[in-house]
Chains A and B, each alone.
Chain A
Amino acid sequence: MSSKSERATQVLVEQIDAPIASYFTSCVHCGMCADACLFYNETGDPRYTPIYKLKPMRKVWQQEFTLMGRLMKMLGLSKPITDEELKEWETLVYDGCTLCGKCSTVCPMGNDLVYMLRKMREGMVAAGYAPDGLKGAMTRAINLGSPMGVTLKTLQAQITRTEKETGLTIPIDVKGAEYMLLLSSAEIAQFYEIIGAAARIFKQAGVSWTLCSEAFEGTNTGIQIGASDLAAELIERIVAGAEKLKVKAVISPECGHAYTALRWEGPNLIGRPYPFKVIHILELLEELRLQGKLKTKGMEEQRLTFHDPCQLVRRGGVIDPPRNLLKQVASNFVEMTEHGMHNWCCGGGGGVSANERAHPLKAKVFDVKKRQLDELSVTTIVTACSNCRNMLDEGLEDHNMDIEVVSLTETIAEHLDES
């Protein structure tokens, strides 16, 4: 065994907890998880079966945690994992998995496969087996504060632009504000209109909020590549910013993985609970709606649908708010056959969008989304994740489909009754 595969083994052993040991124990190799995976479905390649993607981790579990496995290892009948194996699995685990979690909803044994895949990536990256594209994004996130290299300067330029366009002051570094808003790099770089949209909604509803110059980026490449230490560092920056400004809550932006990172993984990554609340922007809008503070007028009349960001909906639990909000401003809202918990991923989650090597595969698995959309013949897709937006735009363009992709928050803002 080389030092690399030894390192992977060591980290994988550390990752195996009671749930994972129980999951591997329970697996009867029925193959039902394959049908939930967009990569298996769209390519027909059985290597994309979720449980198969976990094979090296399963091997480590067998050899280190089970009697049969130890025996086989002693007798030389089962060999330790090798570098070649890890190299092969790098493409299965990163290029061929968006951490969408659909597999976790179908296993008859109840196995939470994506929980295992997320932990398996810890072992892969610790041994150096991760895609260069994702490694680059990770380095930029740590060194520059953004996986796309977006800096405070860029944000400041977009703030100035927004202030000119809306006539509103965009609060930054306001101590004692109730909420601190985070953004994703893609929002700052490409979809800056979201800043104005949030500002107008918050003004109407009387929400006290601020941006933070030291913590404005909410995405987390660490949880995608599987480096908990780096993921924790990114979370610590946000915690420090929120503590400095003494806000009561941090608003997670329209980005799926940012939500999972901040809301569900964050406190566990840094090893302590937050002194503030984390709320997704859609959850906040839903609260405002229920309090009657979200007044809108007029309706979108074109046929439109909602694309569920996996980390927000299936893995995050924010299922109803986007639908309730959308219904307030859209009269012709139709659901895809498989939606909510059962939605198909856009194909670019889990770091796939940052991994150029995976892009041809990503384009292929978009076919499932295309079929879903063809069934509906909508003219607009509303979603709540800037990464999904980019992935949908690319996929639609590839197929010459004339469908507009928009943000839910922006859609709400367009219908704001400011009179």
Chain B
Amino acid sequence: MSEVELLNWLRSTGLHISIAIFVIGLVFRVVQNLLIGADKNLAAPRGSKMGPGLATIVRRSFFHPHMTYRGYFTLIAGYLFHLGFLITLFFLSQHIILFESILGFGWPALPPAVIDVTAILGIAALIAVLIHRLIDPVLKQISDYQDYLAWVLTMFPLATGFLLMHPMGASYSVVLSLHILSFELLIIAIPFTKLSHMLSIFISRWYNGAMAGYKGIKQ
């Protein structure tokens, strides 16, 4: 397979396969969890489940007053990373062209200079959380191989993408192939790793809030 053929394969068939694995895998993972089921609660309720469940989905996104430095660092770096990553993913003009070819519609892009900022933000935040993970005693204690695997998988598309926008001598088509490949690897990995939190976070928050709501615990 020549360089160009590889690139074309990655851009079409490869992309379609990885998106299929990502979507089906992630939905399957979450549904599989739900299907384990939970016993019906036989205790007389004091409150409702739905409202507090939904409210918890929203509320756990905020800072709370009793946080320590670890909490602030995690949330701030976490927000910066997610924002940087998602804005870069969804608002770079080249990405939008790709989305348009799949979805049939597009949206306005952000200027490259802005995307530069968001990409650097994403990369910087990601480096910060890695350093934090390596030096914080709690994080050192609880981290396993998946935490580092997920980090590498997330960093790769960001770094190669940045290289594409700021060529540093490497062959454009090789870097582009690596960029697309790394993105595909990332989304393929999501359903099988902790990265599935992107969907299961809603379920977890809902369960927690719903159980508290059932007991009438005002948060």
Contact = CB atoms under 8 A, between A and B. Distances in A.
A186 interface: no
A35 B70 contact: yes
Contacts of A67: 192
Contact of B216 (A18, A107, A317, A341): A317
A106 B217 contact: no
Contacts of A104: 208
B77 to A, nearest CB: 10
B91 interface: no
A136 B87 CA distance: 59
A30 interface: yes
Interface in B156-201: 192-194, 196-197, 200-201
Contact of A112 (B57, B136, B211): B211
24 contacts: A18-B34, A19-B211, A21-B36, A25-B29, A26-B194, A26-B203, A30-B74, A30-B139, A31-B136, A32-B74, A34-B138, A49-B141, A107-B208, A108-B74, A109-B197, A109-B200, A109-B205, A110-B60, A110-B208, A110-B209, A267-B44, A278-B44, A314-B217, A317-B215
Given A22-B30, A316-B215, 10 more contacts: A18-B33, A23-B204, A26-B201, A29-B143, A47-B141, A49-B138, A106-B66, A109-B197, A267-B44, A314-B217
Interface in B28-47: 29-30, 32-39, 41-44, 46-47
B200 A26 contact: yes
A112 B215 CA distance: 14
A264 B215 contact: yes
Report, as a range, how many residues of chain A touch the other chain. 35 or more
Contacts of A21: 32-33, 36
Q: Which 8 A-B pairs have the closest CB atoms?
A: A110-B205, A267-B42, A46-B141, A317-B217, A31-B138, A21-B33, A110-B204, A26-B204
A44 B68 CA distance: 14
Given A29-B147, A30-B74, A277 B215 contact: no
A304 interface: no
B16 interface: no
B43 A268 contact: yes
Given A22-B200, A341-B217, A342-B66, A46 B35 contact: no
A22 B33 contact: yes
Q: Which of B38, B206, B209 has the most CB of A within 10 A?
A: B38
A29 B142 contact: yes
Given A16-B36, A25-B197, A267-B43, A31 B208 contact: no
Main secondary structure of the interface of B (DSSP, over half): helix
Contacts of A28: 194, 197
B68 A35 contact: yes
B206 A49 contact: no
Contacts of B34: 18, 22
Contacts of B66: 36, 106, 338, 342
Given A22-B200, A25-B197, A277-B44, A110 B74 contact: no
A27 interface: yes
A26 B39 CA distance: 21
A272 interface: yes
B207 interface: yes
Interface residues of B, number: 61
Interface in B94-149: 136-144, 146-147
Contact of B38 (A17, A25, A264, A320): A17
Interface of B: 29-30, 32-39, 41-44, 46-47, 56-57, 60-61, 64, 66-68, 70-71, 74-75, 78, 136-144, 146-147, 192-194, 196-197, 200-201, 203-209, 211-212, 215-219
Nearest to B216: A317
Contacts of A35: 67-68, 70-71
A18 B143 CA distance: 24
A52 B41 contact: no
A360 interface: no
Interface in A1-53: 16-19, 21-23, 25-32, 34-36, 40, 44, 46-47, 49, 51-52
A275 to B, nearest CB: 11
Most chain B beta-carbon neighbours within 10 Å: one of A31, A320, A341: A31
Interface string A295-328: 0000000000000000000111101100000000
A376 interface: no
Interface string A180-217: 00000000000000000000000000000000000000
Nearest to A111: B204
B139 A31 contact: yes
Contacts of A46: 137-138, 140-142
Contacts of A34: 70, 138
- Most chain B CB atoms below 10 A, which of A21, A49, A106: A21
A27 B215 CA distance: 24
A277 B45 CA distance: 11
B63 to A, nearest CB: 10
Contacts of A265: 43
A213 B9 CA distance: 79
A112 B141 contact: no
A27 B142 CA distance: 11
B42 A17 contact: no
Contacts of B138: 31, 34, 40, 46, 49
- Among A106, A277, A278, the one with the most B-chain Cβ atoms within 10 Å of its Cβ is A106
A17 B37 contact: yes
Nearest to A44: B137
A167 interface: no
Interface in A232-282: 263-268, 271-274, 277-278
Nearest to B210: A19
B135 to A, nearest CB: 12
